Chain A
Amino acid sequence: MLKNHAKFNSINGRRLVLIVDDEQINREMLGYIVSSDFDALYARDGEEALRLMRENVNFLSLVLLDLLMPGVDGFAVMREMKADEALSHLPIIVLTSEHTAEVECLRLGASDFILKPFSQPEVIIARMQRIIELHEDRYIIQSTEREDMTGLFNREFFFRYAEQYDRFHPDQEMDAVALDVNRFHLINEMFGRAAGDNVLIHLATYLKELRERTGCMVSRVEGDRFFVYVPHGGMDYTELAQQVNRHLGSLRDISVRVRCGVYRNADKGVEIERRFDRALQAANTIKDNYAQLVAYYDASIHERKIYEDRLISEMYEALANGQFEVYFQPKYNVEGELPALSSAEALVRWHHPTLGMVSPGVFIPLFEKNGMIQKLDYYIWARVADQLGDWRRRYGREVRVSVNVSRIDLYNQNLIEYLDGILTENGIDPGQIYLEITESAYTENPEQIGEMVERLRDRGFKIEMDDFGTGYSSLNMLADVPVDVLKMDMRFVRNLHSNEKQETLVKLVMDIAKYLSLTVVAEGVEDKGQADFLKSVGCSVIQGYYFSRPLPGTDFIRLVTGATQ
């Protein structure tokens, strides 16, 4: 359907109107009157009128409608138009000599009246033009204030209307609520864009019902993100999230979960956009936590956000000033009778001049989010290569170290060139570097990632699939991906004591690895019990505090040289 403002007769640029009257004289006379400004179609009864409307819906700007006609009369036409989405937006001017019918006509959607006998032609034309103009303006506003797919307010209009609401209800306490679909991109990837859209439309439908029930204000602000502005105290958010999830749970075989962030009794002294930022920040604190559906904003979240922003803004300076230091966590081969130091994983530490030691658990996810991780990765690899070259020269040792490769690195076409460069520069062999790539990077874009990983392997690097068991690899995919080592996610190890199922799972991972002829590394091993169990089920390499914490380079090389003495 064309938008109303685009409805010009394509031939002469004039607007097209439909004149509906059972009397030929009235049709002709009105047609003659409007002919100076409009093109006209004519219908002698309601049935013909509806047919012409449907045939010309893309071109019609206005309907001039007589009320009393034999057969389908003007009232019936209006009712039918109102019920038909394609016709409901067409403006109607009713032709009548009956004032008594006006209220009913307005209720049925008439915009104006032209009285019979017709008044001055100029008046008729002016009224028609005014109605078309008003209608088109309204249509433009409606189509700009709402986004196409869900018909909900878009971001900008939502904020403006929320502000307006606040202005007229200054004493009403309000909650800002953000809803986000967990791992929405996966739905799009695994089931196709249409399935993703379907989820959004379903969610929007639920929110529209909620709006009808509670009078809250709803917007789809972007992608899979929805904002709701709710009078405080009027809604149980856990109940809301559960209902949404139940509602979405009925969609085919897609498991869809929504997380909900709430900034309760939002401070109206804070800009409306910032209020919803806070709701979002709260929602993001439970991003990967499937057990918790709702998170509430509090000051600590705000403080953390400020802290994180500071880390982001100071990363370049930290790189330049060498605040990042590489630590080496030893890995031990446990296949023999005695564990033997086999290699290490390079881990990064940030010694911040005023904040002290910043945990990688804090800054790495941040840098991953904004792409800065690539800079840090390159820096770490260069430092590791430099260190390995140094050890080779000084101690004659070809130590093997694994480094983390972020998924963004794998899209960089210069990756191999860069790695080659630092290898050559330091005189080390690609076999000394193990590249750890998370399982989730593989699942994100298996083909492209697979291709790059294949090239890295061809170049001589060994590939470890990191955090195995947390992603969504199908066993099928696992058989095809180019990988040398599976690195079992820490969570498997950490929960070993707590239940038997976990032991069974670990055994299962070991069986899969054995079947695919892959080595398994277990990380996060903290005590003898865990180590013994892992060894007993065939795990070859163990990393964790049980053997050693991450060490500065000088300590690590001492261990290497000492251990082999």
Chain B
Amino acid sequence: MLTIAALNELGADTQSGLSRCLNNEAFYLRMVNLAVQDDGFERLRAALERGDLDEGFERAYALKGVLGNVSLTNLFTPVSEITEALRARTQMDYAPLLEQIFSELEKLRALVD
């Protein structure tokens, strides 16, 4: 179940996330829910799989903004990292970073399901 305690356990900075939501827990959790359901993650992966770094950057950048706002630090950190690599259009193997992102994402999605 999606709770503050569960999020904390996964490394989310729920305190800042909550304060951004005027400490309205229900609202905050709804935002977290929306964030983890975002199909941007899948689109990011698809873009990278076909080598479209431009699209990849746009996706990563958008996700980064959202994740920062809901303070899902565990996801935010690898997404930030991939955003910066993509901003420079670095030619590299993005699979390990993607894997890290999806592994964190699955944990969060498990809370939601």
Contacts from A to B (Cβ < 8 Å): 22-26, 28-29, 32-33, 36, 68, 70, 97, 116-118, 120-121
Q: A29-B21, A29-B31, A32-B22 are in contact. Are A117 and B61 (CB under 8 A)?
A: no
Q: Nearest residue in B to A96 (C-beta to C-beta)?
A: B65
Contacts of B62 in A (CB 8 A): 22-23, 68
Contacts of B71 in A (CB 8 A): 117
Contacts of B58 in A (CB 8 A): 68, 70
Please state if A97 and B64 are interface contacts (CB–CB under 8 Å): yes
**CB-contact partner of A97 in B24, B27, B35, B68, under 8 A:** B68
Task: Give the dominant DSSP class at B's interface.
Answer: helix
Please state if B66 and A23 are interface contacts (CB–CB under 8 Å): yes
Contacts of B21 in A (CB 8 A): 29, 32-33
Task: State A297–B66 Cα separation when bound (angstroms).
Answer: 70
Contacts of B61 in A (CB 8 A): 68
Q: A32-B21, A32-B27 are in contact. Are A24 and B65 (CB under 8 A)?
A: no
Q: Nearest residue in B to A21 (C-beta to C-beta)?
A: B65
Per the CB 8 Å criterion, the residue count for chain B at the interface is 21
Please state if A32 and B69 are interface contacts (CB–CB under 8 Å): no
B20 CB within 8 Å of chain A: yes
Question: What distance in Å separates the Cβ of B95 from its nearest Cβ neighbour in chain A?
Answer: 25
B5 CB within 8 Å of chain A: no
Question: What distance in Å separates the Cβ of A401 from its nearest Cβ neighbour in chain B?
Answer: 93
Within 8 A of A (CB), among B39-66: 58, 61-62, 64-66
Q: A25-B35, A29-B31, A68-B61 are in contact. Are A116 and B69 (CB under 8 A)?
A: yes
Pull 22 A–B residue pairs with CB atoms less than 8 Å apart, ordered by A. A22-B62, A25-B31, A25-B34, A25-B38, A25-B66, A25-B70, A26-B69, A28-B34, A29-B20, A32-B27, A33-B22, A68-B58, A68-B61, A68-B62, A116-B69, A117-B16, A117-B20, A117-B68, A118-B69, A120-B19, A120-B20, A121-B20
Within 8 A of A (CB), among B6-29: 16, 19-22, 24, 27
Contacts of A120 in B (CB 8 A): 19-20
Seed contacts A29-B20, A120-B20; 10 additional CB < 8 Å A-B pairs: A25-B69, A25-B70, A32-B27, A33-B20, A68-B58, A117-B68, A117-B71, A118-B20, A118-B69, A121-B22
Task: State A24–B31 Cα separation when bound (angstroms).
Answer: 9
Contacts of B31 in A (CB 8 A): 25, 28-29
Please state if A26 and B66 are interface contacts (CB–CB under 8 Å): yes
Contacts of A22 in B (CB 8 A): 62
Please state if A97 and B65 are interface contacts (CB–CB under 8 Å): yes
Q: Nearest residue in B to A121 (C-beta to C-beta)?
A: B22
Question: What distance in Å separates the Cβ of A19 from its nearest Cβ neighbour in chain B?
Answer: 13
Question: What distance in Å separates the Cβ of A101 from its nearest Cβ neighbour in chain B?
Answer: 12
Q: A32-B27, A68-B58, A117-B71 are in contact. Are A26 and B22 (CB under 8 A)?
A: no
Q: Nearest residue in B to A70 (C-beta to C-beta)?
A: B58
Please state if B20 and A26 are interface contacts (CB–CB under 8 Å): no
Q: A97-B65, A117-B69 are in contact. Are A24 and B34 (CB under 8 A)?
A: yes
Contacts of B34 in A (CB 8 A): 24-25, 28
Please state if A26 and B65 are interface contacts (CB–CB under 8 Å): yes
Task: State A70–B21 Cα separation when bound (angstroms).
Answer: 26
Contacts of A29 in B (CB 8 A): 20-21, 31, 69-70
Q: Nearest residue in A to B30 (C-beta to C-beta)?
A: A28
Q: Nearest residue in A to B87 (C-beta to C-beta)?
A: A98
Question: What distance in Å separates the Cβ of A321 from its nearest Cβ neighbour in chain B?
Answer: 85
Question: What distance in Å separates the Cβ of B103 from its nearest Cβ neighbour in chain A?
Answer: 22
Question: What distance in Å separates the Cβ of B109 from its nearest Cβ neighbour in chain A?
Answer: 16
Contacts of A118 in B (CB 8 A): 20, 69
Contacts of B68 in A (CB 8 A): 97, 116-117
Contacts of B66 in A (CB 8 A): 23, 25-26
Contacts of B19 in A (CB 8 A): 120-121
Q: Nearest residue in B to A69 (C-beta to C-beta)?
A: B62
Task: State A24–B71 Cα separation when bound (angstroms).
Answer: 16
Contacts of A70 in B (CB 8 A): 58
Question: What distance in Å separates the Cβ of A547 from its nearest Cβ neighbour in chain B?
Answer: 100
Q: Nearest residue in B to A115 (C-beta to C-beta)?
A: B68
Question: What distance in Å separates the Cβ of A172 from its nearest Cβ neighbour in chain B?
Answer: 52
Contacts of B27 in A (CB 8 A): 32
Please state if A36 and B22 are interface contacts (CB–CB under 8 Å): yes
A117, A118, A121 — most chain B CB neighbours (10 Å): A117
